[in-house]
Amino acid sequence: MLSVEQVSRTFNNKQVGFTDVSFTVKEGEVIGILGTSGCGKSTLLRVLAGLDKDYTGKFTWEKEQVGMMFQEPRLMPWLTVEQNVGFGMKGDSNSTIQELLKLVGLAGFEKLYPKDLSGGMAQRTALARALVTEPKVILLDEPFSAVDAFTKMQLQKLLLSIWKQQNTTMLLVTHDIDEALFLCDKIFILRGQPGELYETIIISEPKPRDRGDFKLTTRKAEILSLLDLKQTV
Amino acid sequence: MLEHSEHAVLTKANKTKQSRYTKPKTNRKVLLGSILPLTLLIIWEASGRMGIIESHLLPIPSVIVEGLYQMALEGTLWGHIGTTLIRVFAGFLIGTFTAVIIGSLVGYMKIFEELIDPIIQAFRSIPSLAWVPLFILWMGIGESSKVILIAVGVFFPVYLNMVAGIRGVDRKLIEVGKIYGYTSFEIVSKIILPASLPSLLTGIRSGLGLGWMFVVAAEIMGASKGLGYLLIVGQNTYSPDVIIGSIILFAILGKFTDWLLKFIEERSLRWQDSYANQR
């Protein structure tokens, strides 16, 4: 699906960014990218999305169709909710839009402008927009970090149900270990400045998982020690 | 069921929002805003009638209105108003159109910025009225020199705001377009232009203001028709009522066209999360 070979992208005299990252992703996998701030997680995603061209190394997508969701909703303020959802679509496809709006729980709010939406609603609109083109891969850059805990759990569940329905490959950058444990099959730990791929953790528990699962809790401790938080604090 | 009730709540919310613009508040606004001008008018009229102001220098409002009314009856007034309006409109269209085209290019493409912006900035530092003699020399005192002068006046504010608007577009929104594989043209038409619309409309409104200023200049320089021509006629025939009458007409027309643009602005910027939309 995706193979990344020794990709590097650094700024500021190689102080920030990531370097020498290689991995492969299979179709339908959910990959979490975890790391402390400044280790280049988001930059990695931007490079893979084609938004940052100044990298070295090589990566190839097997399929071109990529959807992306950012940390902020990034809705077009002059478009209504339904127009925003349909933003990436060519041609008319109102029925798909309405279906997706129902899926993310925004039926009845089609005609509102982004300024009238709450943070959670805006992010759900952004999710619907990322899904509307039925991408084979979705890149998610800390997508739920700005929404409240309750909405966050809802959206994670929603993401999981979409994964089940369409077997979408997902790359999820996050700093929330619980989120990664709940959603991902594999977790890449980035560490250092510039960040390097330090460890790959495989989580084989079947999804949906129980958030309070004991096994997951032990994995969390493992990840915490890997992230080496002591050094940064 | 749930969906239905949600919808009901929504339409209700919309209604309360619209009701903010209904009559009681507008009436209050008009009333408050007209207290001062009305008082001034009454004082003016009264002091003129009592002989405190000399009427051959400052005629009283009723005389001015009477003069305008006479001209309207004779039919000459409409010709003057029409000529001036056409000149402003033509110059405004030409100026705005070229400014939007050149401004988009300069704002969007670095190469055009480096190529065109310096010379435009250089021309901008010339007071536009300084062009008048040259335009008259080149094109005579006919319509074209006037329209071009107005267009030059309109061009700069529109151009500057267009460029600033495009430069201020959020990079993050453009990235969304790139994710969907938009071409440069699609990015400009679907993201950059709508995003810079608020700034462009500000530019167009100040451009129109300058257009009115320049039509006066153009018509004073040499014209046989138009409100600016009436100003000169009033000066030459010692009739301040004609001068003040055409000043008032300029004010009314300028205000009306600006209101028209403001109306369009409000209509097309309803999505904006601004202080004005919140009030």
pLDDT, tens digit, for every residue of B245-279? 999 999 999 999 999 999 999 988 988 887 777 66
* Interchain pair A51, B6: CB under 8 A: no
- The confidence band for B206, taking pLDDT boundaries of 50, 70 and 90, is very high
Do B266 and A73 meet the contact criterion of CB atoms below 8 Å apart?
no
* Interchain pair A109, B10: CB under 8 A: yes
Q: Does B28 touch chain A (CB under 8 A)?
A: no
Q: At residue B9, does pLDDT exceed 80?
A: no
* Interchain pair A77, B273: CB under 8 A: yes
Beta bridge partners of A59: A4
Q: Could you tell me if A90 and A58 lie in one domain?
A: no
**How many angstroms separate the CA atoms of B120 and A98, rounded?**
48
Q: Could you tell me if B32 and B65 lie in one domain?
A: no
Q: At residue B181, does pLDDT exceed 70?
A: yes
The burial of A174, by beta-carbon neighbours within 10 Å (0-12 exposed, 13-18 middle, 19 or more buried), is given as buried
Is B209 or B132 the better-scoring residue by pLDDT? B209
- The confidence band for B54, taking pLDDT boundaries of 50, 70 and 90, is confident
Q: What is the mean pLDDT of chain B?
A: 87
Q: Does B183 touch chain A (CB under 8 A)?
A: no
Q: At residue A222, does pLDDT exceed 90?
A: no
Q: Which two tokens stand for residue A199?
A: 């460890």
pLDDT tens-place string over residues A123-179: 999 999 998 888 888 999 999 988 888 888 888 998 998 898 888 899 999 988 999
Q: Could you tell me if A54 and A90 lie in one domain?
A: no
Percent of residues in chain A assigned helix, strand, coil, to nearest 5: 35, 25, 35
Q: At residue B13, does pLDDT exceed 70?
A: no
* Interchain pair A76, B178: CB under 8 A: no
Q: Does B8 touch chain A (CB under 8 A)?
A: no
The alpha carbon dihedral of B38, B43, B44, B48 has a sign of: positive
Structural domain for B37, as ranges: 1-50
In a domain, A83, yes or no: yes
Interface test with B, best of A76, A101, A140 (most B CBs within 10 A): A76
Residue B169 dihedral angles phi and psi, to the nearest 5°: -65, 135
For residue B256, the model assigns a pLDDT of: 95
In a domain, A188, yes or no: yes
Q: Could you tell me if A59 and A104 lie in one domain?
A: no
Structural domain for A223, as ranges: 1-22+37-42+50-63+182-199+215-233
Q: What is the mean pLDDT of chain A?
A: 87
Q: Does B74 touch chain A (CB under 8 A)?
A: no
In a domain, A152, yes or no: no
* Interchain pair A77, B191: CB under 8 A: no
% of chain B with per-residue pLDDT over 70: 91
Q: Could you tell me if B35 and B73 lie in one domain?
A: no
For residue B79, the model assigns a pLDDT of: 93
Cβ neighbour number for residue A151 with a 10 Å cutoff = 18
**What is the total count of domains within chain A?**
2
For residue A64, the model assigns a pLDDT of: 65
In a domain, A172, yes or no: no
**Chain A residues in contact with B172 (beta carbon < 8 A):** 70, 72, 74
* Number of residues assigned to chain A: 233
Q: Give the mean model confidence (pLDDT) for residues A112-118.
A: 92
Biggest distance spanned by C-alpha atoms of chain B: 78
CA angle B63/B67/B73 to nearest 5° reads: 140
Q: Which of A52-66, A94-108, B115-129 has the lowest mean pLDDT?
A: A52-66
Q: Could you tell me if B9 and B105 lie in one domain?
A: no
Residue type for position B139 = M
Residue B168 dihedral angles phi and psi, to the nearest 5°: -85, 0
For tokens 């594999």, the residue is A186
Do B205 and B262 meet the contact criterion of CB atoms below 8 Å apart?
yes
In a domain, A123, yes or no: yes
**What is the total count of domains within chain B?**
2
- The confidence band for B122, taking pLDDT boundaries of 50, 70 and 90, is very high
Q: Could you tell me if B106 and B157 lie in one domain?
A: yes
Q: Could you tell me if A57 and A90 lie in one domain?
A: no
| Secondary structure of residue A105 in the 3-state scheme | coil
**Chain A residues in contact with B6 (beta carbon < 8 A):** 107-109
The residues near B156 (Cβ < 8 Å, ≥ 6 apart) are B99, B124, B128, B207, B210
Question: Which of A118, A135, A152 finishes a domain?
Answer: A135
CA angle B209/B276/B205 to nearest 5° reads: 15
Which has the closest alpha carbon to A94: A81, A104, A113, A76? A81
**Chain B residues in contact with A133 (beta carbon < 8 A):** 180
| A and B: number of Cβ contacts within 8 A | 55
Q: Could you tell me if B90 and B171 lie in one domain?
A: yes
Q: At residue A197, does pLDDT exceed 80?
A: yes
- The confidence band for B20, taking pLDDT boundaries of 50, 70 and 90, is very low
Q: Could you tell me if B201 and B266 lie in one domain?
A: yes
* Interchain pair A66, B195: CB under 8 A: no
For residue A1, the model assigns a pLDDT of: 77
Q: Does B3 touch chain A (CB under 8 A)?
A: yes
For residue B123, the model assigns a pLDDT of: 92
For residue B22, the model assigns a pLDDT of: 52
For residue B194, the model assigns a pLDDT of: 93
- The confidence band for A212, taking pLDDT boundaries of 50, 70 and 90, is confident
For residue A63, the model assigns a pLDDT of: 62
Q: Could you tell me if B120 and B9 lie in one domain?
A: no
Measure Cα distances from A187 to A24, A32, A33, A119 in Å: 12, 4, 6, 27
For residue A230, the model assigns a pLDDT of: 55
Question: For the domain that residue B242 is a member of, what is the CATH number?
Answer: 1.10.3720.10
Q: Does B242 touch chain A (CB under 8 A)?
A: no
**How many angstroms separate the CA atoms of B5 and A64, rounded?**
41
Measure Cα distances from B236 to A42, A102, B202, B239 in Å: 74, 74, 38, 8
| Secondary structure of residue B207 in the 3-state scheme | helix
* Interchain pair A87, B179: CB under 8 A: no
Q: Could you tell me if B107 and B198 lie in one domain?
A: yes
